[in-house]
A and B are shown apart, each in its own frame.
Chain A
């Protein structure tokens, strides 16, 4: 059965009818991506602020939170978020479970991005703001955070390109994201397995490229001369584009 297909062109022809479905499923992955990044952003920022400006106790809590979400495999988290809420009478869909599981995990990484950015804003900025008579809170929100936000964009580019690949782990949550859709295709016709999987792989390479281009645009859009992560431009030119590490 391995040689029934023959030339690659034949595979492409036979794959044709399934392509619309696969692309529709890809949209679900993108929705999941946006959802989980949003969840991660909100909680990540919160955790970072707690770590930098909260007291000792809050800082410790934030660190334990980070440690837990970084140490448990994504698949286990997804199952916990899928089977957990029903035990307390809340029903969740696979999509919601995956979004929050991957989102909370992402927050544990995004918090570090944001924390690093806050800490790399020179201390003189805070002193200057306070010397103008701003309160600490006001200085944080009007002076420090806007700068930290810009400094954290490269980190987020990386985060984005990392979690986009991990959206396929939602395969385990049993809804029709792109990998499960692919699986359904080749479960009915095993000879198509390679073709459909390579197609999915290509989708992700394209998504990563598009995402990097978009983040590059954001970076330029918010660029302020002199406010840059040291060495970032050089690292960027030397590496092969951003392909963030997935986290397992």
Chain B
């Protein structure tokens, strides 16, 4: 088992955002989290790599407890990629600079090796020709692909995606999903918050449906689409399939 999340609770003021979330992931699996907006999906992802500290509950990665206060969280975060909805590329660095800064500054790799590595990762997302471009000179889809390359360059055990395509114009979504699909097929372990059901059907081993801070239901895509146990799951899946179509 690669990732074990156990009974995570998180509260903002009086607002209970996560109320006991537990699940596990094996190496090489892709899981998709869906659920209405404001349900705590982003919060859950951030609790996993402690960008936000959970109030209660524990997380293990490869038998190391991330939620333990003595764990060197920076070392752990280096092993968990994170892809943001709003890309968050470093605005003062080129595409190449963005991808190699992690290896250089966190892993202390020398500049030459880091550059070679970064170019390979850019190649992998199809952007080696944009290595010298600054984020402001790239389209949204290209920026998101660079940010995936930035995560990949750290050789993560797991990548967390927080709605990677929802800030993109519709015509740019495909290129990002394509990269993600090929990563899933290469055996990368990915936990993806998305409403792109085409992507879920194609590569997800499991869909996790969350509502009001808890997991309502989880299961393989086929089962979730055809005979969901809970009425809410079916309703929600129908709704987003209508809204987002089945592309991807």
Q: Direct contact between A and B in the complex (CB less than 8 angstroms)?
A: no
| Residues of chain B whose beta carbon lies under 8 Å from any beta carbon of chain A | none
Q: Which residues of A contact B (CB under 8 A)?
A: none
